[in-house]
Structure 1
């Protein structure tokens, strides 16, 4: 009796998982979540990591003017708000695919560690917003705004 190749069996599950992800994302892409009513509009993709001294977030917000982005820190929640305005086109268009989200967004991100507002910096380049916050040893209870350079 032949021993089945485990990688082939898991490959079938990976294929099914990819297909289900595609179906769900296609269906729910432009629908607001009833499970997360505190988040408004679309949600920009975000990466977050920490080093020994800081917490770093990278947010994919191509096409947004830095003047349209607001960053707030409340306790251990980072709140990003902004708007991506749809370009005005004079010629009539017939879209075959429209995957870029426009309009307002709000993203609330729970931070895994205590951070300080003092020394926090944000930069915007090539469509990515990078926020660097120094780690603290005690809980930060203040409400602050971080200006984008």
Structure 2
């Protein structure tokens, strides 16, 4: 399966494919404008902006890039401030799931005050994969907050032809 089959009408029950576009789409512009309108609306009531509230409720969602070539599918996820032990990757059939829990804690002691801040949040990203990905050869490397997953494709000789004998009845 190639990337052209990742259109919404072909997803079925397989999850939502995620990839970051370098160009800004009209949908992104519309979403940002709607977020701005909600933020402005809530400011009138002395409330925090809506998007700020969502982030404080654990709305962490890592940026994910996905590329495909003839040999493999590469997935890169930005997970700053996370440790390898806090990340779980599962590949089942044609769905890749990346889960994690982000924990930050800071502590500062002064002569007059003691400051302690904690932040916890979990995320889960589900990506549709081509059906020809070989799960036994999948590899993941986590380095400096960047997770790189390589999913080799099953090697098949597409040019091979087999003559099918017709039986008479």
Q: TM-score, normalised by structure 1?
A: 0.60
Q: Where does 1:1-149 land on structure 2 (aligned, <5 Å)?
A: 17=30, 20=33, 23=36, 27-28=50-51, 30-31=53-54, 42-90=60-108, 91-92=114-115, 102-136=120-154
- Alpha-carbon deviations, 1:69-119, whole Å to 9, x = none? 11001111101111110123235389xxxxxx8411111111244311122
Superposed CA RMSD in Å reads 3.5
The 1:17/1:130 distance shift into structure 2, 3 A limit, reads: same
Alpha-carbon distance, 1:22 to partner: 5.6
Alpha-carbon distance, 1:43 to partner: 2.0
**Partners of 1:124 and 1:107 in 2: how far apart?**
16
Q: Is the 8 A contact 2:74 2:148 kept in 1?
A: yes
Q: Is the 8 A contact 1:42 1:106 kept in 2?
A: no
The aligned length equals 112
**Partners of 2:96 and 2:87 in 1: how far apart?**
13
**Partners of 1:66 and 1:78 in 2: how far apart?**
17
Q: TM-score, normalised by structure 2?
A: 0.53
**Partners of 1:87 and 1:70 in 2: how far apart?**
21
Gaps of 5+ in 2: 1-25, 40-48, 109-113, 157-169
Larger radius of gyration: 2
